[in-house]
Amino acid sequence: MKGIWYYDKIFSRHNPGAGHPENVQRINAIQRSIEERSLDKKLHFLPCPEVDESHIFQVHETDYVQSVLATRGKTHRFDADTCTSPDTVEALLRASGAATSAVDQVIENKDSFAFCALRPPGHHATANRAMGFCFFNHVAIAANYATQKHGCKRVLIFDPDVHHGNGTQDIFYQRDDVLYVSIHQSPFYPGTGSISEMGQGAGEGYNINLPLPLGQGDEEYLFLTQSVLIPVIQKYQPDLIIFSAGFDAHAQDPLGQMNITSQGFLNLYSPIIQLAQERKIPFFFALEGGYSPQALSESIVLIVQSLLDEKISSLPAAPANRHNQKIMDYLSQNLKLLH
Protein backbone atom coordinates (compact mmCIF):
# COMPACT_ATOMS: atom_id res chain seq x y z
CA MET A 1 0.00 0.00 0.00
CA LYS A 2 0.99 3.60 -0.46
CA GLY A 3 1.72 5.16 2.93
CA ILE A 4 0.95 8.80 3.68
CA TRP A 5 2.64 10.42 6.66
CA TYR A 6 1.50 13.62 8.39
CA TYR A 7 3.86 15.50 10.67
CA ASP A 8 4.64 19.15 11.32
CA LYS A 9 7.45 20.71 13.34
CA ILE A 10 4.86 22.81 15.14
CA PHE A 11 3.82 19.65 17.03
CA SER A 12 7.18 19.70 18.80
CA ARG A 13 6.55 23.23 20.06
CA HIS A 14 3.49 22.40 22.13
CA ASN A 15 4.83 22.44 25.69
CA PRO A 16 2.39 21.50 28.48
CA GLY A 17 5.06 21.98 31.18
CA ALA A 18 8.21 20.50 32.63
CA GLY A 19 7.95 16.81 33.49
CA HIS A 20 4.67 16.35 31.62
CA PRO A 21 4.26 12.83 30.18
CA GLU A 22 2.80 14.20 26.93
CA ASN A 23 6.07 15.81 25.87
CA VAL A 24 8.08 16.40 22.72
CA GLN A 25 10.17 13.25 23.25
CA ARG A 26 7.21 11.19 22.09
CA ILE A 27 6.99 12.71 18.62
CA ASN A 28 10.77 13.01 18.30
CA ALA A 29 11.19 9.28 18.99
CA ILE A 30 8.63 8.41 16.32
CA GLN A 31 10.28 10.60 13.68
CA ARG A 32 13.73 9.30 14.56
CA SER A 33 12.61 5.67 14.30
CA ILE A 34 10.95 6.28 10.95
CA GLU A 35 14.21 7.70 9.62
CA GLU A 36 16.44 5.02 11.19
CA ARG A 37 14.41 2.30 9.48
CA SER A 38 14.50 4.28 6.19
CA LEU A 39 10.71 4.34 6.15
CA ASP A 40 10.85 8.03 5.32
CA LYS A 41 12.05 6.99 1.86
CA LYS A 42 8.97 4.80 1.37
CA LEU A 43 6.36 7.11 2.87
CA HIS A 44 4.76 10.04 1.09
CA PHE A 45 5.01 13.04 3.43
CA LEU A 46 2.18 15.56 3.19
CA PRO A 47 1.96 18.96 4.90
CA CYS A 48 -0.48 19.45 7.75
CA PRO A 49 -2.78 22.29 6.69
CA GLU A 50 -4.59 24.40 9.25
CA VAL A 51 -8.09 23.03 9.53
CA ASP A 52 -11.00 25.12 8.36
CA GLU A 53 -12.27 26.30 11.75
CA SER A 54 -15.87 25.69 10.71
CA HIS A 55 -15.18 21.96 11.05
CA ILE A 56 -14.15 22.47 14.69
CA PHE A 57 -17.33 24.40 15.45
CA GLN A 58 -19.43 21.54 14.07
CA VAL A 59 -18.03 19.25 16.79
CA HIS A 60 -17.23 21.57 19.71
CA GLU A 61 -19.41 24.27 21.26
CA THR A 62 -18.80 27.83 20.10
CA ASP A 63 -17.87 29.36 23.47
CA TYR A 64 -15.46 26.55 24.18
CA VAL A 65 -13.70 26.77 20.80
CA GLN A 66 -13.32 30.51 21.23
CA SER A 67 -11.85 30.01 24.71
CA VAL A 68 -9.18 27.69 23.27
CA LEU A 69 -8.40 29.93 20.30
CA ALA A 70 -8.04 32.87 22.69
CA THR A 71 -4.96 31.21 24.21
CA ARG A 72 -2.97 31.62 20.98
CA GLY A 73 0.47 32.95 21.95
CA LYS A 74 -0.24 32.37 25.64
CA THR A 75 0.13 29.83 28.41
CA HIS A 76 -3.18 28.84 29.92
CA ARG A 77 -4.06 25.96 32.24
CA PHE A 78 -7.48 24.38 31.62
CA ASP A 79 -6.95 21.80 34.35
CA ALA A 80 -4.05 20.27 36.27
CA ASP A 81 -2.96 18.14 33.29
CA THR A 82 -4.07 20.21 30.32
CA CYS A 83 -2.16 23.38 29.57
CA THR A 84 -1.47 25.42 26.43
CA SER A 85 1.79 27.11 25.53
CA PRO A 86 2.30 29.94 23.00
CA ASP A 87 2.37 27.55 19.99
CA THR A 88 -0.35 25.14 21.10
CA VAL A 89 -3.22 26.66 19.12
CA GLU A 90 -1.32 26.43 15.84
CA ALA A 91 -0.39 22.84 16.68
CA LEU A 92 -4.05 22.07 17.35
CA LEU A 93 -5.23 23.60 14.08
CA ARG A 94 -2.63 21.67 12.10
CA ALA A 95 -3.34 18.43 13.96
CA SER A 96 -7.04 18.66 13.11
CA GLY A 97 -6.06 19.72 9.60
CA ALA A 98 -3.91 16.62 9.23
CA ALA A 99 -6.82 14.42 10.32
CA THR A 100 -9.29 15.98 7.87
CA SER A 101 -6.71 15.87 5.07
CA ALA A 102 -6.15 12.18 5.85
CA VAL A 103 -9.87 11.59 5.32
CA ASP A 104 -9.60 13.12 1.84
CA GLN A 105 -6.49 11.13 0.96
CA VAL A 106 -7.64 7.65 1.96
CA ILE A 107 -11.13 8.07 0.51
CA GLU A 108 -9.83 9.42 -2.79
CA ASN A 109 -6.91 6.96 -2.99
CA LYS A 110 -8.23 3.53 -2.08
CA ASP A 111 -4.81 1.87 -2.16
CA SER A 112 -3.43 4.23 0.50
CA PHE A 113 -3.31 4.43 4.27
CA ALA A 114 -2.36 7.46 6.34
CA PHE A 115 -0.72 7.95 9.72
CA CYS A 116 -1.10 11.28 11.50
CA ALA A 117 1.85 11.67 13.89
CA LEU A 118 0.30 14.57 15.74
CA ARG A 119 0.10 16.15 19.15
CA PRO A 120 -1.51 17.20 21.39
CA PRO A 121 -3.88 14.20 21.37
CA GLY A 122 -7.63 14.65 21.28
CA HIS A 123 -9.90 11.82 22.38
CA HIS A 124 -10.60 13.16 25.89
CA ALA A 125 -11.76 16.56 24.60
CA THR A 126 -15.54 16.73 24.89
CA ALA A 127 -17.78 19.14 23.03
CA ASN A 128 -17.20 21.78 25.69
CA ARG A 129 -14.23 20.81 27.82
CA ALA A 130 -10.46 20.35 27.59
CA MET A 131 -9.11 17.51 29.70
CA GLY A 132 -6.64 14.63 29.76
CA PHE A 133 -3.97 16.49 27.72
CA CYS A 134 -6.60 17.13 24.97
CA PHE A 135 -8.16 20.34 23.60
CA PHE A 136 -9.72 19.62 20.19
CA ASN A 137 -10.93 16.13 19.35
CA HIS A 138 -9.13 15.55 16.04
CA VAL A 139 -10.65 12.13 15.39
CA ALA A 140 -14.17 13.41 16.06
CA ILE A 141 -13.58 16.40 13.79
CA ALA A 142 -12.32 14.04 11.06
CA ALA A 143 -15.25 11.65 11.45
CA ASN A 144 -17.79 14.44 11.26
CA TYR A 145 -15.92 15.92 8.28
CA ALA A 146 -16.19 12.56 6.50
CA THR A 147 -19.96 12.56 6.93
CA GLN A 148 -20.28 16.16 5.72
CA LYS A 149 -17.67 16.40 2.95
CA HIS A 150 -17.71 12.85 1.58
CA GLY A 151 -21.22 11.76 2.49
CA CYS A 152 -20.07 8.84 4.63
CA LYS A 153 -23.11 7.32 6.30
CA ARG A 154 -21.19 4.92 8.53
CA VAL A 155 -17.85 5.83 10.13
CA LEU A 156 -16.24 3.46 12.62
CA ILE A 157 -13.78 4.75 15.22
CA PHE A 158 -11.68 2.13 17.00
CA ASP A 159 -9.91 3.37 20.12
CA PRO A 160 -7.54 0.96 21.94
CA ASP A 161 -5.95 3.68 24.08
CA VAL A 162 -5.58 2.50 27.68
CA HIS A 163 -7.79 5.43 28.75
CA HIS A 164 -11.40 5.52 27.60
CA GLY A 165 -12.03 8.17 24.95
CA ASN A 166 -14.81 9.90 26.83
CA GLY A 167 -14.75 12.92 24.52
CA THR A 168 -15.29 10.91 21.36
CA GLN A 169 -18.04 8.92 23.03
CA ASP A 170 -19.71 12.10 24.27
CA ILE A 171 -19.67 13.81 20.87
CA PHE A 172 -21.29 10.92 18.98
CA TYR A 173 -23.41 9.44 21.75
CA GLN A 174 -26.71 10.31 20.04
CA ARG A 175 -25.66 9.65 16.45
CA ASP A 176 -25.87 6.48 14.37
CA ASP A 177 -23.57 7.62 11.55
CA VAL A 178 -20.48 7.17 13.74
CA LEU A 179 -19.91 3.92 15.65
CA TYR A 180 -17.40 4.24 18.49
CA VAL A 181 -15.64 1.13 19.85
CA SER A 182 -13.20 1.34 22.76
CA ILE A 183 -11.03 -1.22 24.53
CA HIS A 184 -9.62 0.32 27.70
CA GLN A 185 -8.47 -0.29 31.25
CA SER A 186 -11.19 -0.02 33.89
CA PRO A 187 -11.48 1.31 36.51
CA PHE A 188 -9.14 4.03 35.31
CA TYR A 189 -9.06 7.65 34.17
CA PRO A 190 -11.40 9.28 33.18
CA GLY A 191 -13.92 7.00 34.92
CA THR A 192 -16.22 6.49 31.92
CA GLY A 193 -16.58 3.63 29.47
CA SER A 194 -18.72 1.03 31.17
CA ILE A 195 -20.24 -1.74 29.07
CA SER A 196 -23.70 -0.26 29.70
CA GLU A 197 -22.85 3.05 27.99
CA MET A 198 -24.41 2.18 24.64
CA GLY A 199 -25.53 5.52 23.21
CA GLN A 200 -28.87 7.33 23.36
CA GLY A 201 -31.69 8.09 20.96
CA ALA A 202 -30.61 7.50 17.38
CA GLY A 203 -27.20 6.51 18.72
CA GLU A 204 -28.41 3.69 20.94
CA GLY A 205 -26.33 0.62 20.19
CA TYR A 206 -23.69 2.60 18.30
CA ASN A 207 -21.34 2.97 21.25
CA ILE A 208 -19.46 -0.17 22.29
CA ASN A 209 -17.19 -0.26 25.32
CA LEU A 210 -14.91 -3.15 26.21
CA PRO A 211 -13.60 -2.30 29.69
CA LEU A 212 -10.82 -4.57 30.95
CA PRO A 213 -9.18 -4.98 34.36
CA LEU A 214 -5.50 -4.13 34.56
CA GLY A 215 -2.88 -6.62 33.42
CA GLN A 216 -4.43 -7.77 30.13
CA GLY A 217 -2.12 -8.38 27.19
CA ASP A 218 -1.75 -9.57 23.62
CA GLU A 219 -4.04 -12.61 23.85
CA GLU A 220 -6.92 -10.78 25.48
CA TYR A 221 -6.85 -7.82 23.09
CA LEU A 222 -6.66 -10.06 20.02
CA PHE A 223 -9.46 -12.23 21.40
CA LEU A 224 -11.76 -9.20 21.69
CA THR A 225 -10.78 -7.95 18.27
CA GLN A 226 -11.64 -11.29 16.69
CA SER A 227 -14.75 -12.10 18.71
CA VAL A 228 -16.33 -8.63 18.94
CA LEU A 229 -14.80 -6.02 16.66
CA ILE A 230 -14.53 -8.05 13.43
CA PRO A 231 -18.21 -9.17 13.57
CA VAL A 232 -19.21 -5.57 14.32
CA ILE A 233 -17.33 -4.28 11.28
CA GLN A 234 -18.82 -7.03 9.10
CA LYS A 235 -22.33 -6.06 10.16
CA TYR A 236 -21.90 -2.27 10.28
CA GLN A 237 -20.12 -2.11 6.88
CA PRO A 238 -18.39 1.23 7.52
CA ASP A 239 -17.50 3.65 4.74
CA LEU A 240 -14.39 4.68 6.70
CA ILE A 241 -12.40 3.34 9.66
CA ILE A 242 -10.47 5.74 11.88
CA PHE A 243 -7.98 4.32 14.36
CA SER A 244 -7.81 6.56 17.43
CA ALA A 245 -4.35 5.14 17.93
CA GLY A 246 -3.23 5.19 21.54
CA PHE A 247 -0.29 2.99 22.55
CA ASP A 248 -0.34 3.46 26.33
CA ALA A 249 -1.66 -0.08 26.88
CA HIS A 250 1.91 -1.16 26.13
CA ALA A 251 3.64 -3.13 28.89
CA GLN A 252 6.40 -0.49 29.07
CA ASP A 253 4.09 2.51 29.34
CA PRO A 254 4.48 4.52 32.57
CA LEU A 255 0.80 5.57 32.76
CA GLY A 256 -1.05 2.40 31.82
CA GLN A 257 -1.16 -0.94 33.61
CA MET A 258 -1.70 -3.26 30.66
CA ASN A 259 0.71 -5.74 29.06
CA ILE A 260 0.48 -5.42 25.28
CA THR A 261 3.78 -5.84 23.45
CA SER A 262 4.81 -3.94 20.33
CA GLN A 263 4.12 -7.07 18.28
CA GLY A 264 0.80 -7.33 20.10
CA PHE A 265 -0.28 -3.94 18.72
CA LEU A 266 0.48 -5.14 15.19
CA ASN A 267 -1.50 -8.33 15.90
CA LEU A 268 -4.38 -6.22 17.26
CA TYR A 269 -4.66 -4.13 14.12
CA SER A 270 -3.88 -6.84 11.55
CA PRO A 271 -7.30 -8.57 11.34
CA ILE A 272 -9.08 -5.21 11.09
CA ILE A 273 -6.73 -3.96 8.38
CA GLN A 274 -7.02 -7.16 6.38
CA LEU A 275 -10.81 -6.99 6.52
CA ALA A 276 -10.67 -3.32 5.47
CA GLN A 277 -8.43 -4.20 2.54
CA GLU A 278 -10.65 -7.07 1.46
CA ARG A 279 -13.74 -4.86 1.52
CA LYS A 280 -11.93 -1.76 0.21
CA ILE A 281 -12.76 0.26 3.32
CA PRO A 282 -10.43 3.30 3.63
CA PHE A 283 -8.66 3.73 6.96
CA PHE A 284 -6.12 5.90 8.72
CA PHE A 285 -4.43 6.31 12.10
CA ALA A 286 -4.41 9.41 14.33
CA LEU A 287 -2.02 9.33 17.28
CA GLU A 288 -3.49 9.53 20.79
CA GLY A 289 -1.61 8.36 23.91
CA GLY A 290 1.59 6.42 24.46
CA TYR A 291 4.12 7.75 26.95
CA SER A 292 7.12 5.45 26.60
CA PRO A 293 8.92 6.97 23.59
CA GLN A 294 10.67 3.66 22.87
CA ALA A 295 7.55 1.50 23.08
CA LEU A 296 5.49 4.07 21.17
CA SER A 297 7.91 4.42 18.27
CA GLU A 298 8.62 0.68 18.10
CA SER A 299 4.92 -0.18 17.90
CA ILE A 300 4.21 2.38 15.20
CA VAL A 301 7.22 1.33 13.11
CA LEU A 302 6.05 -2.31 13.16
CA ILE A 303 2.59 -1.35 11.91
CA VAL A 304 3.80 1.07 9.23
CA GLN A 305 6.53 -1.29 8.01
CA SER A 306 4.05 -4.16 7.72
CA LEU A 307 1.60 -2.04 5.75
CA LEU A 308 4.28 -0.78 3.39
CA ASP A 309 5.66 -4.28 2.83
CA GLU A 310 2.12 -5.67 2.55
CA LYS A 311 2.77 -8.22 5.27
CA ILE A 312 -0.47 -7.59 7.12
CA SER A 313 -2.32 -10.88 7.53
CA SER A 314 -5.30 -11.99 9.54
CA LEU A 315 -4.41 -14.09 12.56
CA PRO A 316 -6.30 -17.08 13.96
CA ALA A 317 -8.52 -16.11 16.86
CA ALA A 318 -6.40 -16.18 20.01
CA PRO A 319 -7.98 -17.80 23.05
CA ALA A 320 -7.65 -15.66 26.13
CA ASN A 321 -5.52 -17.29 28.78
CA ARG A 322 -7.41 -19.39 31.30
CA HIS A 323 -7.13 -16.85 34.08
CA ASN A 324 -9.00 -14.24 32.04
CA GLN A 325 -11.36 -16.41 30.01
CA LYS A 326 -14.31 -15.60 32.28
CA ILE A 327 -13.76 -11.87 31.70
CA MET A 328 -13.67 -12.35 27.93
CA ASP A 329 -16.76 -14.53 27.92
CA TYR A 330 -18.62 -12.02 30.09
CA LEU A 331 -17.82 -9.16 27.73
CA SER A 332 -18.66 -11.09 24.57
CA GLN A 333 -21.94 -12.53 25.87
CA ASN A 334 -23.20 -9.31 27.44
CA LEU A 335 -22.32 -7.23 24.41
CA LYS A 336 -24.40 -9.53 22.25
CA LEU A 337 -27.32 -9.18 24.64
CA LEU A 338 -27.00 -5.40 24.96
CA HIS A 339 -26.46 -4.64 21.29
Under 8 Å between Cβ of 95 and 120:
yes
Over residues 99-116, mean pLDDT: 97
- Catalytic site residue 124? yes
DSSP string, 52-73: PHHHHHTTS-HHHHHHHHTTTT
Question: Is 133's pLDDT higher than 80?
Answer: yes
Question: Is 338's pLDDT higher than 70?
Answer: no
Q: How far apart are CA 269 and CA 113, in angstroms?
A: 13
- pLDDT of res. 143: 99
Catalytic residue among 14, 124, 138, 184: 124
Tell me the CA distances in angstroms from 24 to 159, 296, 318, one per residue in order. Answer: 22, 13, 36
Q: Which of 153, 203, 212, 152 is nearest to 332 (CA)?
A: 212
pTM: 0.96
Residue 278's Cβ-count burial label (10 Å; 0-12, 13-18, 19+) is exposed
> What is residue 286's three-state secondary structure?
strand
pLDDT in tens, 252-280: 999 999 999 999 999 999 999 999 999 99
Domain 2-338: CATH superfamily, name plus number: Histone deacetylase domain (3.40.800.20)
> What is residue 45's three-state secondary structure?
strand
Q: Which of 5, 96, 97 is nearest to 44 (CA)?
A: 5
* Domains of the chain by residue range: 2-338
Under 8 Å between Cβ of 111 and 2:
yes
